Amino acid sequence: MRHLLDTRTLSRDDALRILDVAEDMRDTQSREVKKLPTLRGKTVVNLFFEDSTRTRISFEAAAKRLSADVINFSAKGSSVSKGESLQDTAQTLQAMGADAVVIRHGASGAPHTLATSGWISAGVLNAGDGTHEHPTQALLDAFTIRKRFFGDDSRGRDLAGFHVAIVGDILHSRVARSNVWLLTTLGARVTLVAPPTLVPQDVSAWPVTISYDLDQAIASAPDAVMMLRIQLERMNAAYFPTEREYSRRWGLDAARMGSLPTASIVMHPGPMNRGLEISADAADSPRSTVLEQVANGVSVRMAALYLLLAGERPTTHPQEEAR
């Protein structure tokens, strides 16, 4: 793998390879010494043009646990705010010897431009671009579902036969888009549940079922319900009457959770608007995988960095190298 730009074009084999390497990485993370020497001497740049807490920290932890050097570059307070272009920034990073660039950008397609422009030779990882994609989030979500349902027997498995409901602000969500592609590539069935105003116009071309009724979707007994954040910062119009009305019709609360099959899990990519799309008891219930998603994110990003920077699966198992 040269870059990780989206899940739309990610093959089933590549997706499973990332998930399986992430299993190996996860195994190393329960040890006292979590650090592996694998990417010693490599430089990973976190290039963040949009705010992020968990994704940036997660990539930083992942790179450091593989012994790479990490440079955090946030656009605020940098020359970018003085008008420097993506090209100039990229070429500066290239001159500093970046081996991988993790980029988050408000414009859909920015990571693709960076990867194909010829400005840099580094591998590019998309950490969220506009409303387009957030591939490592979808990978960590798939990893989390696999882990919850198959436990130690997860390796090599896809998600055939699973039904996932993705609920809420689909329109502004790169997480939803990346999940739609990855989940269907892995064999799962996806239902999108949202008010009509928050369903994208081009959705008819997506391999999904649309529902406007959360209670009906819950009655269809999905294995996982993925709640999305209402992205108020991307909303330039009134998409629903009031927040109260939204949470009454589209929010996951204790009553709705009670109607789900006992084995079903509740997911959220974070950050959560508690009391809006998800109630505190749903977010904190034992079925909620919110914190597992965060922990698994580090293992999945270690796997992605590893596959981009160290090539194919090693002859030495990462666990052996840890010694």
Pair of tokens at residue 52: 């992020």
Beta carbon nearer to ligand ASP, 26 or 134: 134
Residue 247 to residue 64: CA distance in whole angstroms: 39
Least Cα distance to 73 among 95, 44, 99 occurs for 44
Query: Taking CB under 6 A as the rule, which mask of x and - marks residues 213-242 in contact with ligand ASP?
Result: ----------------x-x-----------
Between 174-185 and 12-29, two packed helices, what is the crossing angle to 10 degrees? 110
Nearest approach, Cβ of residue 173 and ligand ASP (Å): 7
Any contact of residue 147 with ligand ASP (CB under 6 A)? no
Which residues are bridge partners to 211 per DSSP?
Answer: 193
Beta carbon nearer to ligand ASP, 51 or 88: 51
Burial track 295-321 (b if 16+ CB lie within 10 A, e otherwise): ebbbbbbbbbbbbbbeeeeeeeebeee
Any contact of residue 175 with ligand ASP (CB under 6 A)? yes
Nearest approach, Cβ of residue 98 and ligand ASP (Å): 22
Any contact of residue 128 with ligand ASP (CB under 6 A)? yes
Nearest approach, Cβ of residue 176 and ligand ASP (Å): 9
List the interface residues with ligand ASP, window 259-288 (CB under 6 A).
Answer: 269-270
Any contact of residue 26 with ligand ASP (CB under 6 A)? no
Burial track 172-196 (b if 16+ CB lie within 10 A, e otherwise): bbbbbbbbbbbbbbbebbbbbbbbe
Any contact of residue 111 with ligand ASP (CB under 6 A)? no
Residue 59 to residue 93: CA distance in whole angstroms: 17
Q: Residues in contact with ligand ASP, total (CB under 6 A)? A: 8
Beta carbon nearer to ligand ASP, 211 or 231: 231
Q: Please answer whether residues 3 and 123 qualify as being in contact, where contact means their C-beta atoms are separated by less than 8 angstroms.
A: yes
Nearest approach, Cβ of residue 269 and ligand ASP (Å): 4
Q: Which of 65, 132, 174, 256 touches ligand ASP by CB under 6 A?
A: 174
Q: Which of 134, 147, 163, 256 touches ligand ASP by CB under 6 A?
A: 134
Beta carbon nearer to ligand ASP, 42 or 132: 132
Between 54-65 and 135-150, two packed helices, what is the crossing angle to 10 degrees? 70
Pair of tokens at residue 228: 């999305």
Nearest approach, Cβ of residue 314 and ligand ASP (Å): 31
Which residues are bridge partners to 126 per DSSP?
Answer: 103
Q: Which residues bind ligand ASP (CB under 6 A)?
A: 128, 134, 174-175, 229, 231, 269-270
